[in-house]
Structure 1
């Protein structure tokens, strides 16, 4: 017979896995013309990431004290501050044996900007559009901010700039007989077919690299959870968490090319 904590543990792990998978899949489809994919990605991904990290904190308490925390606010003290949660997970990561530290969290200015934007989204900027509509002073548009602070720096790492000269020929042929009513990912207007072609290529690159970056952040937190759970006393009967997240616990070359993450 399973202990009473078994069901909520597996349900929480399953929910976190679902949210992360849905968020990453949506981010991989994201583009400037359909910002819903970015909003959906941020929403699902931040929920999943937060739940994995809070689950890891609860498991850490089990390892340290041989029992689950009795304080109902134990995992809630961080609120939705993903930056603080990731710092806490880094503390757990340092408790692992060196052989268990298979994955490291991405570092550098781009990763730091991504984590900051995601944390702000979880804490409040997810209501950006509602705030605009209801007259509340809004935060920055998270999609525009992502493309400015994460997407554009990622584009600078691209080895080859796509050739869109063919679109210039379309502009010359069509002239002013066509109206283009699109904006780029930052909200700036696109006024030509060349702009559209360039933004399409840029958007695809940013979506792929953003997904890879977020997948690596998730992989780091998941791996820390799994390794920390293995340090717990067997009498606690913790689930084998890897089975909920195996789609993300893979090497970079495979992770980067994934388009679906649902288990």
Structure 2
């Protein structure tokens, strides 16, 4: 039988893994350019990292509300367990408490952002990837009914939307086709959006007051917690996911 101590240590390790996976995924995004189109790696890393971060957050909230660790039925499993959109809906419903959202201006801003197309378009691609699209090519090979878009193409379409909305980048392509600035700026914008998501989750562990136990983990989530708006999209991440 699993002891309470074992469960505590496992939840501790899972949060640590989640944060490192997200950091590593952001670092992998920053390496994408004209010579490196290996989108599969950051998609795999980020989908796993954010799934774990949200599940751990729900576990802590369950522990606070029920006074015990969640049962196996408390969290979705199998393919449904990789549905980031569903997990995000649960985090919004169960963890963004009325007293927090109504009285803390940044909490209201976080909730609005979690509902925005700016974020959800990327979460949708990561969600599809986690559920099925990571095997897109194999499904095509064996003739399975493919239910998602090619994940690389889906992510690149989102990058194109950022490009088309930036006149300065369109001008850069016209005036200096060999410039790498366009890739760098798009990567920074994507990283900024995902950092803001991670920061919104991290705030739940302090000013969000979702439970007593979460206060012990400031050391894990502190990096995202302390990102200011001006910091978003400006930090350099290690590919290993280690602290800078």
TM-score (norm 2): 0.80
Q: What CA RMSD, in Å, does the superposition of the two structures yield over aligned residues?
A: 2.7
Q: Structure 1 residue aligned with 2:88, among 86, 90, 94?
A: 86
Structure 1, unpaired ranges of 5+:
168-193
Q: Which runs of 4+ in 1 moved over 6 A?
A: none
- Give 1:101 shift: 2.5
- Give 1:32 shift: 4.0
Distance 1:202 1:9 in 2: 40
Structure 2, unpaired ranges of 5+:
none
2:211 aligns to what? 232
Decide whether the 8 Å contact of 2:60 with 2:210 is kept in 1: no
After superposition, give the CA deviation of every residue in 1:68-107 in whole Å (9 maximum; x if it has no partner).
22x2121235511100111111111134523382861535
Decide whether the 8 Å contact of 1:248 with 1:255 is kept in 2: no
Q: Structure 1 residue aligned with 2:160, among 152, 168, 178?
A: 152
Larger radius of gyration: 1
1:33 aligns to what? 35
Q: How many matched pairs?
A: 226
2:218 aligns to what? 242
1:61 aligns to what? 62
1:259 aligns to what? 236
2:184 aligns to what? 204
1:127 aligns to what? 135
Decide whether the 8 Å contact of 1:52 with 1:222 is kept in 2: no
Decide whether the 8 Å contact of 1:53 with 1:86 is kept in 2: yes
1:76 aligns to what? 76
Decide whether the 8 Å contact of 2:21 with 2:48 is kept in 1: yes
Q: How does 1:183-222 map to 2 (within 5 A)?
A: 194=177, 197=178, 200-222=180-202
Distance 2:233 2:181 in 1: 17
Asked if 1:113 corresponds to 2:121, the answer is yes
Distance 1:210 1:238 in 2: 28
SS in 2 for 1:104: helix
Evaluate the alpha carbon distance shift between residue 85 and residue 96 of structure 1 in structure 2; reply closer, same or farther with a 3 A threshold: farther
1:178 aligns to what? none
Decide whether the 8 Å contact of 1:226 with 1:240 is kept in 2: no
Distance 2:60 2:131 in 1: 24
After superposition, give the CA deviation of every residue in 1:177-233 in whole Å (9 maximum; x if it has no partner).
xxxxxxxxxxxxxxxxx4xx37x44332221111111121222223224555x4535
